[in-house]
Amino acid sequence: MISTELQNLIETLAEQLAAPAVIEDDEQQLIVHSAQSAPVDDVRRECILLRYTRPAVRDWFRQFGITTAQEPLRIPPDPERGILGRLCVPIDHHGARVGYLWLIDDQERLDDDAVAYAAKTASQVGLLIFDDILAERLASGMLDHLLSPAAELRIESVRQITDSGLLSGNGEVIAIVAQPASPSCQPDRSVIAESLRDVTRRRPPGEVMALARNNQGVLVARSAGRDLVAEARLLADALCQAMGRRIQAGEPGASSVVAGIGGPQATLADAHLSYREGSQAARVAATITAMGPIASWPELGAYRTLAQLPMCEEVTASLDPRLVRLLRQCDPAVLATLEAYLDLAGDIKATTERLNVYRGTLYYRLQKAEKLADVDLRNGQDRLALHLGFKLARLTGVYAG
Interval 17-26: pLDDT, tens? 999 999 998 8
Among residues 215, 201, 216, 392, the alpha carbon closest in space to that of 314 is found at 392
Q: How confident is the model at residue 52 (pLDDT cuts 50, 70, 90)?
A: confident
Residue 1: is its pLDDT beyond 60?
no
pTM of the predicted protein model: 0.70
Compute the distance between CA of residue 107 and CA of residue 124 in angstroms, rounded to an integer.
26
Q: Could you report the per-residue pLDDT of 90-107, keeping only the tens digit for each? A: 999 988 899 999 999 999
Q: How confident is the model at residue 314 (pLDDT cuts 50, 70, 90)?
A: low
Is domain 147-306 annotated with CATH 3.30.50? no
Compute the distance between CA of residue 390 and CA of residue 323 in angstroms, rounded to an integer.
8
| Predicted pLDDT at 218 | 97
Q: Could you report the per-residue pLDDT of 211-250, keeping only the tens digit for each? A: 999 899 999 999 766 789 999 999 999 999 999 988 887 6
CB atoms within 10 A of CB 378: 9
Residue 204: is its pLDDT beyond 70?
yes
Q: Domain residue spans in the chain?
A: 4-133, 147-306, 313-396
Q: Assess whether the region 4-133 and the region 147-306 belong to the same CATH fold.
A: no
The 3-state DSSP class for residue 223 equals: coil
Domain 4-133: homologous superfamily in CATH: GAF domain (3.30.450.40)
Among residues 342, 351, 328, the alpha carbon closest in space to that of 381 is found at 342
Mean pLDDT, residues 193-220: 89
Domain 313-396: homologous superfamily in CATH: PucR C-terminal helix-turn-helix domain (1.10.10.2840)
Among residues 379, 274, 380, 401, the alpha carbon closest in space to that of 326 is found at 401
Mean pLDDT, residues 67-79: 94
